[in-house]
A and B are shown apart, each in its own frame.
Chain A
């Protein structure tokens, strides 16, 4: 559907083109760590992409380049036809590409409402009443969070904190939403509630989303396509189309189709995890 929109020239935002992207840490001639190597991927507007791979496979590097925190050595990233990252271009991190970090980054000294408005008020100060209203509305739709809007982040649960962070990111109306292992530290019940929340939110506020995780099941549950990455050099090993119908909930986890998809993808991810583990052992030996 997104492709059709692009064809007829409607202003669909959030199409990303990653071409031949490479990133080496340390001096190239001294054989530095190859975090990314020849990565190419096209993301359609409002598509939900999950990047899966073991730690150290370069998925965070890719996210940091997308968000504008890191610069590639080769290749380029374009957003809606404009190059935002290449060896010669580094567009500043900005509200069109908002990142939600692995370890929560709500500002503890601001109330929840002020946190949510922090990025958004930057450009739209004259409409601050409207902005407040839409912030409260989005909080309400994120599980009644409008009731805790006047509290400080330290006074709510970690699940609420993660939902608030996503609301804050959405308030800036980004072209891409980058979620870097946002549910890593959560227990399984809280995690599955968050999964349903993200799935529902993607229905009501669709955004081009890049979701980073090392959990294959989570990736298959949430994404339209799952990108499996290899370890050092970080390459794209396999791209899995997830043709499960939307709207989805965690109920899909028990379906035959999901289990078949998981079985078919499992080996690829497992091999990479094993390789990463062995490489780590070798490094320490």
Chain B
């Protein structure tokens, strides 16, 4: 079965390290090139020095991490908790599909960020509106993945279960759910990336905390080092969340490893 190329596979550390070193060298080169205005792009070690001096021991910085991670976790989990059952309902009940799917299809093309104004007006706190927007980001992806997962269940599994005399509840719990688990995990991998995307933009627009806000403040105060530290932090946060998802994948889909 085709899946993400690096899923479950250990990165080669030597190659990975070389690639990162090359990237840092390229960054330094660009920072010192004559085309870049003096002071508009700090080089790697200036950035690191800035980070060590200003952020490492700054509780506000770590607070930004914590706030953003919390929002991603809530938004992502809410998207799973709402999206998986809805996907199952749409995939398994023809009637529910006929009633709900047209509305779903109408809402799906609306970009998550287009929900920002309504969300701020509607939800009582900034926090709840930001979590809502991040939920929207992953929600449609997970629903579609569950839906396609159900349509993709090989018919012979369902026939075989019936032939063995399985009850409906057993077919649902022990055949349908595990059969769509790869689709759910694929939805999670895509969903977590979108969640971070949406969160950072939402924080820049609507929040006074979080890594997105930190990066935006770097821009407002014309401090490129802050912007870069913010961006690097967001990148790192994304890697950490994806790693967590892959750990879950390796456990939940261990039957797929040969």
Contact = CB atoms under 8 A, between A and B. Distances in A.
Interface in B150-193: 154, 156-157, 159-167, 170, 174-175, 178-179, 181
Contacts of B161: 118
A226 interface: no
Given A108-B256, A110-B174, A154-B256, A98 B157 contact: no
Interface string B124-165: 000000000000000000000000000000101101111111
A105 B158 CA distance: 9
Contact of B181 (A93, A97, A109): A109
Interface residues of A, number: 28
Given A95-B165, A118-B164, A119-B165, A105 B159 contact: yes
Given A103-B156, A155-B258, A109 B164 contact: no
Interface string A82-116: 00000000001111111101010101111000000
B156 A105 contact: yes
B181 A122 contact: no
Contacts of A96: 165
Contact of A107 (B159, B178, B254, B258): B178
B157 A105 contact: yes
A67 interface: yes
Contact of B164 (A95, A110, A152): A95
Residue among B154, B157, B254 with the highest chain A CB neighbour number at 10 A:
B157
Nearest to A99: B163
B3 interface: no
Nearest to A153: B255
Interface string A170-189: 00100000000000000000
Contacts of A162: none
Interface of B: 154, 156-157, 159-167, 170, 174-175, 178-179, 181, 254-256, 258
A258 interface: no
A235 interface: no
Contacts of A118: 161, 164, 166, 174
Nearest to A94: B165
23 contacts: A68-B163, A92-B162, A93-B163, A94-B163, A95-B165, A96-B165, A99-B159, A101-B160, A103-B156, A105-B154, A105-B159, A105-B160, A107-B175, A108-B256, A109-B255, A119-B164, A119-B165, A119-B166, A122-B165, A122-B170, A123-B165, A155-B258, A168-B164
A108 B255 contact: yes
Given A105-B156, A123-B165, A172-B164, 18 more contacts: A93-B159, A93-B162, A94-B162, A94-B163, A95-B163, A103-B156, A105-B157, A107-B160, A109-B179, A109-B181, A109-B255, A119-B164, A119-B166, A122-B164, A122-B165, A122-B170, A154-B258, A172-B165
Contacts of B256: 108, 154
Given A105-B156, A107-B157, A154-B255, A98 B163 contact: yes
A172 to B, nearest CB: 6
A68 B258 CA distance: 35
A122 to B, nearest CB: 5
B178 to A, nearest CB: 4
B172 to A, nearest CB: 14
Interface in A230-271: none
